[in-house]
């Protein structure tokens, strides 16, 4: 029985987890112009808005979000990186590195995210994996196995155009959400400006993200990254926190900067005004047919402010739906353990211990009977063999 109890406990721990639901359609309340967009609750992973979330598109410099979190987890931030000629030759935005220049890995990541340095990105990739091709293979494996992307394939660390370099709004939202849980990444992603002292360039780097640096005022912006190549048009990643809920917004293929920042504002306004956090406690029970399910621990979930409908299937998968029936989050619950029935297999009083106790009881009773019989016989023998003929058991009556 004890072994069965621990097996059941292990199953509860393994299968009770909170998972992300991939909402399929966009909400009609928001007019998003970008061709693809996703809004996530950064804490729970709930999908609050999705427009063409799984359509493969070119990310441009949003690629550097993936490069940064991969480098932070794999590399040593204090490593000194020697810049190659290949890194220096990169096109587009740079931090103007020199061949042979030695730069700490963290500083390269800062130059790559804050100023979108394509040269810094290649220097990082070559330091981590020897060359860009090997880096791309390792990065793709990392994104798939560690973060769970499904439609992403990167060929370089900086997002310069390649027809085989693509991702989706959903995958980028997952990557950004994952990265923001790392304090080093969150610090760099949220940096507005940084003094830069290089061999050929001494300046102050200022983020290109207009909402992060305050050029487009919006309260609670915690991080951001911009991107652009001709084939991708405008791309934008933004994180924000209003003190009650944290959001991650991704937009791909905006026509221009005004359009894509307006999309971001609409998404953040919608997320902050229409959703809230609630707690599922471990005492909350959900019935599916004859089966009962419950969380193994208290869980934070995201619900529409106007109310949510909770639907559970026969396998214990709980869906949090909005009033339109769209699923914004799913949570796997645990099956409630059944109470033991009164039978020989589950009732402790009918188990081996009971039968053993009964055996000992019968044996002791029988032994007591034998002892009493032997004592009586022993007393009788003594009386018969006494030289005085008197009974030792009682006083002899006089005639």
Give the CATH number of the domain where residue 73 resides. 3.40.710.10
Q: Could you tell me if residue 154 is inside a domain?
A: yes
Where does the pLDDT of residue 363 fall: very low under 50, low under 70, confident under 90, or very high at 90 and above? low
**What's the pLDDT score for residue 372?**
56
Q: How many domains does the chain have?
A: 2
Q: 147 and 260 share a domain?
A: yes
* Last residue within a domain, chosen from 259, 277, 295: 277
**What's the pLDDT score for residue 289?**
85
Q: 272 and 364 share a domain?
A: no
- Which domain range does residue 272 map to? 31-277
Q: 248 and 106 share a domain?
A: yes
Where does the pLDDT of residue 294 fall: very low under 50, low under 70, confident under 90, or very high at 90 and above? confident
Q: 264 and 360 share a domain?
A: no
**What's the pLDDT score for residue 379?**
53
* Last residue within a domain, chosen from 277, 299, 322: 277
Q: What angle do CA 312, 299, 311 make, to 5 degrees?
A: 15
Distance (Å, rounded) from C-alpha 13 to C-alpha 16?
6
pLDDT beyond 80 at 361: no
Q: Could you tell me if residue 264 is inside a domain?
A: yes
Lowest mean pLDDT among 28-42, 75-89, 126-140: 28-42
Q: Could you tell me if residue 13 is inside a domain?
A: no
Lowest mean pLDDT among 97-111, 166-180, 285-299: 285-299
Of 173, 167, 38, 61, which is closest to residue 112 (Cα–Cα)? 61
* Last residue within a domain, chosen from 277, 296, 318: 277
Q: 150 and 63 share a domain?
A: yes
**What's the pLDDT score for residue 314?**
87
Are 154 and 132 spatial neighbours (Cβ–Cβ below 8 Å)?
no
Q: Could you tell me if residue 64 is inside a domain?
A: yes
Structure tokens at 337: 């353990």
Q: Could you tell me if residue 228 is inside a domain?
A: yes
**What's the pLDDT score for residue 376?**
60
Q: Could you tell me if residue 307 is inside a domain?
A: no
Q: 262 and 379 share a domain?
A: no
Q: 370 and 266 share a domain?
A: no
Q: Model confidence over 151-173: pLDDT tens digits?
A: 999 999 999 999 999 999 999 99
Q: Could you tell me if residue 140 is inside a domain?
A: yes
pTM of structure: 0.78
Q: 271 and 347 share a domain?
A: no
Count of C-beta atoms within a 10 Å radius of residue 138: 16
Q: 263 and 379 share a domain?
A: no
Q: Which residues are catalytic?
A: 61, 64, 116
Q: Please compute the mean of the pLDDT values over residues 181-187 and round it to a whole number.
A: 98
Distance (Å, rounded) from C-alpha 333 to C-alpha 240?
30
**What's the pLDDT score for residue 348?**
45
Q: Could you tell me if residue 337 is inside a domain?
A: no
Where does the pLDDT of residue 325 fall: very low under 50, low under 70, confident under 90, or very high at 90 and above? confident
Q: 154 and 228 share a domain?
A: yes
């Amino acid at each position: 029985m004890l072994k069965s109890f621990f097996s059941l406990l292990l199953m509860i721990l393994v299968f009770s987890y909170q998972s992300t639901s991939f909402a399929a359609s966009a909400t009609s309340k928001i007019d998003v112009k970008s061709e693809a967009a996703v809004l996530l609750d950064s804490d729970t992973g709930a999908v609050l808005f999705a427009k063409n979330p799984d359509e493969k598109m070119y990310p441009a410099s949003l690629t550097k979000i993936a490069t940064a979190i991969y480098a932070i987890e794999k590399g040593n931030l204090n490593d000194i990186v020697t810049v190659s000629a290949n890194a220096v030759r990169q096109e587009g935005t740079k931090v103007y590195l020199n061949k042979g220049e030695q730069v700490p890995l963290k500083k390269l990541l800062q130059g790559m995210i804050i100023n979108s340095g394509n040269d810094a990105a290649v220097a990082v990739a070559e330091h981590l994996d020897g060359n860009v091709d090997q880096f791309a293979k390792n990065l793709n494996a990392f994104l798939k196995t560690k973060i769970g992307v499904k439609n992403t394939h990167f060929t370089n660390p900086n997002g310069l155009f390649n027809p085989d370099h693509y991702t989706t709004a959903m995958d980028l939202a997952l990557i950004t959400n994952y990265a923001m849980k790392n304090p080093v990444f969150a610090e760099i992603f949220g940096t507005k400006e940084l003094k830069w002292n290089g061999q050929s360039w001494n300046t102050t780097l200022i983020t290109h993200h207009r909402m992060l640096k305050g050029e487009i005022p919006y309260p609670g912006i915690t991080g951001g990254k911009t991107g652009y190549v001709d084939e991708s048009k405008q791309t934008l990643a933004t994180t924000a926190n209003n003190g009650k809920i944290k959001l991650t917004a991704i937009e791909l293929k905006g026509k221009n900067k005004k359009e894509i920042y307006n999309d971001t504002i609409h998404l953040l306004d919608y997320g902050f005004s229409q959703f809230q956090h609630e707690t599922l406690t471990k005492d909350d029970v959900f019935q599916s047919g004859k089966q009962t399910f419950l969380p193994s621990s208290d869980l934070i979930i995201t619900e529409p402010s106007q109310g949510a409908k909770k639907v559970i299937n026969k396998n214990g998968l709980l869906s949090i739906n909005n009033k339109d029936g769209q699923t914004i989050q799913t949570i796997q619950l645990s099956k409630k353990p059944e109470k033991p029935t009164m039978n020989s297999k589950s009732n402790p009083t009918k188990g081996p211990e009971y039968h053993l106790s009964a055996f000992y009881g019968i044996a002791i009773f029988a032994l007591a009977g034998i002892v009493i019989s032997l004592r009586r016989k022993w007393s009788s023998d003594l009386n018969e063999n006494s030289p005085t003929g008197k009974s030792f058991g009682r006083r002899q009556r006089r005639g």
